């Protein structure tokens, strides 16, 4: 394993341990509200602090973009860590066991290493550009499914901003009608990791943040899948909108989604 990925794994496991311990006594958890339907707990903060401590100790010259503490730019930094210490906070608060730690490392703007760690199942998803994607120690690949009517599709519902709710619902209706089913597990990083290992065949969501997607996107690419923005291009981290899938399913999803995209929802 590449040394940098190794540190990312160590950091993700430390955060996972904090999260797992806290999940045993949910009544103790103090919940703050950042904005409507956007919650933060002391556990998000403690998990992020544990990750940042390790990263700063080992790689003091690297830049960091982390959900709870924001961007820490280091002039001239070639590497950037993109961190969601607890993806799926709403699930976590409710004891709904679907959440993860997500860490990606970009080199000169290119996603290079990825870790998504699921503390509930002790599943560690990792990838390094050009070296494949793994679940624990096993190589993973996206599903071979090609027929849309047999595909299981993941998504995230709009719940904070409803600006694009009509377009979303029109897409939802068509995808529900034309596929084997749609799931909304509630932690985008894990949804993407599950796509990488073939548990779902496609995924789409609007309005995500880079830390929700960065690690999962590299996992999918290294597992032989495709990831894009709504224009079918590579700007998903910046636009917040993502479509992903096993190659044949991806193309069909994009074809359904694109006609519903208004100019304000173009990328």
Shortest spacing between CB 28 and ligand IPD, in angstroms: 19
Pick from 66, 152, 197, 208: which binds ligand IPD (CB under 6 A)?
208
**Which phi and psi (to 5°) does residue 34 adopt?**
-80, -45
Residue 201 binds ligand IPD, judged by CB under 6 A:
no
Partner touching 208 among Ca ion, ligand IPD, none, CB below 5 to 8 Å by kind: ligand IPD
Annotate each residue in 209-228 with x if it binds ligand IPD (CB under 6 A) or - if it does not, as one string: ---x----------------
Could you give the count of Cα atoms lying within 13 Å of 263 in the half-sphere of its Cβ? Answer: 0
Give the contacts of 222 (CB within 8 A, at least 6 positions apart).
Answer: 114, 127, 128, 129, 130, 131, 132, 133, 196
Q: How far is CA 217 from CA 74, 89, 190, 196, in A?
A: 24, 20, 11, 9
Pick from 84, 118, 222, 229: which binds ligand IPD (CB under 6 A)?
84
Count of residues in the chain: 267
Stretch that binds ligand IPD, among 6-14, 133-141, 166-174, 183-191 (CB under 6 A): 183-191
Partner touching 156 among ligand IPD, Ca ion, none, CB below 5 to 8 Å by kind: ligand IPD
**Which phi and psi (to 5°) does residue 70 adopt?**
80, -155
Residues that bind ligand IPD (CB under 6 A): 84, 87-90, 156, 186-188, 205, 208, 212
């Amino acid at each position: 394993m590449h040394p940098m990925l190794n540190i990312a794994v160590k950091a993700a496991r430390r955060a996972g341990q904090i999260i797992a311990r806290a999940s045993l006594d949910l009544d103790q958890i103090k919940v703050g509200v950042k904005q409507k339907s956007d919650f933060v707990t002391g556990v998000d903060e403690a998990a992020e602090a544990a990750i940042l401590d390790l990263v700063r100790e080992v790689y003091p010259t690297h830049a960091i973009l982390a959900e709870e503490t924001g961007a820490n730019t280091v002039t001239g930094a070639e590497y950037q860590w993109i961190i969601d210490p607890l993806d799926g906070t709403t699930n976590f608060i409710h004891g709904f066991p679907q959440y993860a730690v997500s860490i990606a490392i970009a080199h000169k703007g290119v996603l290079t290493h990825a870790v998504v760690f699921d503390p509930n199942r002790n599943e560690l998803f990792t990838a390094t550009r050009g070296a494949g994607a793994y679940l624990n120690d096993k190589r993973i690949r996206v599903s071979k499914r090609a027929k849309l009517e047999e595909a299981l599709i993941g998504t995230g519902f709009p719940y904070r901003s409803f600006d694009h709710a009509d377009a979303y619902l029109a897409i939802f209706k068509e995808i529900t009608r034309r596929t084997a089913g749609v799931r909304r597990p509630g932690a985008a990083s894990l949804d993407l990791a599950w796509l990488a290992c073939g548990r779902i065949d496609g995924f789409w969501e609007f309005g995500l943040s880079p830390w929700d997607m960065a690690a999962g996107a590299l996992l999918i690419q290294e597992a032989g899948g495709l990831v894009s923005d709504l224009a079918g291009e590579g700007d998903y981290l910046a636009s917040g909108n993502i479509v992903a899938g096993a190659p044949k399913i991806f193309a069909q999803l994009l074809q359904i989604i694109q006609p519903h995209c208004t100019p304000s929802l173009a990328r």
